[in-house]
Structure 1
């Protein structure tokens, strides 16, 4: 299939992933389920790679996906320069256990 549906409609799934990516860049770490973290990691790493270019077109491309303008500013001013010499692998997934209610695997997704 190529991507996870999470049992959500297309719009809901896209909004959820955009919210998670925005939260990741704002807080620099989020706790979520394993499959969601894997999808968010893919998107976040692509956005960091785009942000490393640093030009106006890259900024507008990131603004299309990230909800908050101040988060995009943080991405371009602080996060992307940290990874200027790094060729990918900007995030880390750490398993933290299982959720009490439904035993879903919980992970901590953070920027390296």
Structure 2
């Protein structure tokens, strides 16, 4: 019976799953958006949300726990200084899984994109669009009659 069992095995051993999700979490922190299969994306969301929760705690023990997963001091620094502050005051939903319409060509696997729900470019984009509209004068095109 499958009572009280969390997560998916994804046809891999425990060690392989652990290594795979570590690598995917590292890629997510580096690129802030990755493309993978839908079941992997749903499981990666759990790992990534835990990392953001650690970044929100922002203490030494949280950094050490994040280092256990990310295994790179530069990535831990980026997580705690760039990604974590974006979610200050947010209770959950740190990552988003977006299903892609077309399956993968080789094996017809369903694909998805995993990304942080508050993207860096979205926050900056709001400020840029407001400034660009006011700084550029609009040109009026007048019709001339011949």
Give, in whole Å, the separation in 1 of the partners of 2:65 and 2:16: 21
What does the per-residue CA deviation read over 1:6-60, in whole Å, with 9 as the maximum and x for residues that have no partner? 1111111110011001111111000000000011001110110111011111100
| 2:51 matches 1:47 | yes
Structure with the largest fraction of strand: 1
What SS does the corresponding residue of 1:26 show, helix, strand or coil?
helix
1:90 corresponding residue in structure 2: 94
Alignment of 1:1-112 (within 5 A): 1-96=5-100, 97-112=102-117
What does the per-residue CA deviation read over 1:93-112, in whole Å, with 9 as the maximum and x for residues that have no partner? 11122111111100011111
The one of the two structures with greater contact order (alpha-carbon pairs below 8 A, sep at least 6) is 1
| Runs of 4+ in structure 1 over 4 Å off | none
Aligned length: 112
Give, in whole Å, the separation in 1 of the partners of 2:65 and 2:95: 20
Q: Give 1:77 shift.
A: 0.4
Contact 1:19 1:67 in 2 (8 A): no
Structure with the greater alpha carbon radius of gyration: 2
Structure-2-length-normalised TM-score: 0.74
Structure-1-length-normalised TM-score: 0.95
Give, in whole Å, the separation in 2 of the partners of 1:46 and 1:10: 19
Give, in whole Å, the separation in 2 of the partners of 1:38 and 1:67: 22
Structure 1 unpaired stretches of 5+: none
Give, in whole Å, the separation in 1 of the partners of 2:48 and 2:93: 10
What SS does the corresponding residue of 2:99 show, helix, strand or coil?
strand
